[in-house]
Amino acid sequence: MSSPTRPSTLPDDRRTVADDAPGFMPADEADALHSVADHYLSQPDSVGLGIEIGTYCGKSTVYLGDAAERHGALVVTVDHHRGSEEHQPGWEYHDTALVDAHAGLLDTAARFRRTMFDAKLEQTVLGLVAPSTAAARVWGREADFVFIDGGHSMEAAQNDYDGWARWVRSGGALLIHDVFPDPADGGRPPYEIYRQALDSGLFTEVAVHGSLRVLQRA
């Protein structure tokens, strides 16, 4: 199998859009994500679909959408757009600029749409505004990859894994972000579901880039 982390070739204009979008993914991991998505969408048995769980403002979605566009594929990105625990008032990553004055709650949906508009990816990226658990209840088709980067509580990470890992096609990939084997480096829930995927026997690790893990399904 060719490397799923060959160099990223995201165009400069889209890179600028991604850089301007609020978010937390390091540039080198985003480049790796781009090349991984391109790899799995380019395979002969591709079904032309990738899934992202955890949209926020669409920074990583630009990389996924660009890869999908190259192959006439689609990306569905799932988020309730009310933010994870760490985005709420009083927490480290709360951004007052993203609070909806009407509801008094975080709302990243409009900023996500702006990102997709600026990146010219509105025909390639489909935003599904719903909790991950609710969206999983109505989902019904396989994908070339599922990228889990949603809430980092154990409940949220477990729900994302239980609801979406099963939709990775044979030969496709489960991608998990913020995997830190050392607890001193970051939260444990993404690591815990990463271990579950490996222990299931269905997935084999094929690439590591920073905190991004690429697991291929048998």
Strands, E assignment, the chain: 49-53, 74-79, 99-100, 105-106, 125-129, 143-148, 168-176, 203-209, 212-217
Q: Which residue has the tokens 């489960």?
A: 174
Query: Do residues 40 and 61 lie in contact, with contact meaning Cβ atoms separated by under 8 Å?
Result: no
Residues present in the chain in total: 218
Distance CA 41, CA 74 (A): 10
Where in the sequence numbering do the catalytic residues fall? 152
Distance CA 24, CA 112 (A): 14
Q: Which residue has the tokens 């949220």?
A: 156
